[in-house]
Structure 1
């Protein structure tokens, strides 16, 4: 403790009371690691705009309170890119570009999933405490959505 009033600056067994954790080196392909700053008070995950995301967000929204049997997403965007981060809990994500399909579980707020334009995305199996934040490269535009999978496949294949 230092100062008056006293404040905690570290614990005796703490080697480095303030550290910046490098992005997780073991992130699966397709997942983007995010920098985390940690000290005795907890972790801080800063996202500097622009810079830390693959685009400058124009919209941010949060998905929460989703019953585990419900499915979200099930659409693609013609122009909009999205970057998904599960702040708490977990959510399963399917990412499909029309030729390949991958599945990811987001369960660590220091990992994010980039979904480029013309990517079919489905999110499901939300844990009861899941909070998913979505950064979007464009404001909401109904005409940008492709909600029919067959139409998406035809557009994706050119």
Structure 2
């Protein structure tokens, strides 16, 4: 199925409120995939861009644990920017979507939950190749 930017959605993360601090919980059926890999981005230098690729089958869920950053989503036709700045929600990015992360605030942390373990063959790292893959399907 040819994914579009409309298949990427914000999902609220259930929280347990407590006077000592809130607890965000990701379990059961919050995500439409089983988490097989977890990693995070931090200490991103000002002006840096992360991402710059698409995945053939991997899905990701991005959360701004601290600070903020923008996620630029492209499906080969349309583009949209999503600002993540709240640890009680995350952005689901489906496979077949080009993503770039930019405008990281000082001290920001981006947590990524992925549906697959790392596999270099799953990456499309050239935007030209990405656009070509969208038109040949």
- 1:127-142 residue pairs with structure 2 within 5 A? 127-142=105-120
Q: Deviations over 1:83-116 (max 9, x none)?
A: 1001000011101122221101100001110110
Give yes or no for the alignment of 1:47 onto 2:42. Answer: no
Q: Which runs of 5+ in 1 are unaligned?
A: 1-28
Look up the match of 1:7: none
What residue ranges of structure 2 are gaps of 5+ in the alignment?
1-7
Larger Rg: 1
TM-score normalised by the chain length of structure 1: 0.78
SS in structure 2 of the partner of residue 153 of structure 1? helix
**Per chain length, whose mean CA-contact separation is higher, i.e. which structure has more relative contact order (CA < 8 Å, sep 6+)?**
2
CA RMSD of aligned residues (A): 1.2
**Alignment match of 2:62 (pick from 69, 84, 92):** 84
Note if 1:95 corresponds to 2:73.
yes
**CA positional deviation for 1:54:** 1.8
Provide Cα deviations, 1:11-59, integer angstroms capped at 9, x if missing partner: xxxxxxxxxxxxxxxxxx83111111111111000111x4111211110
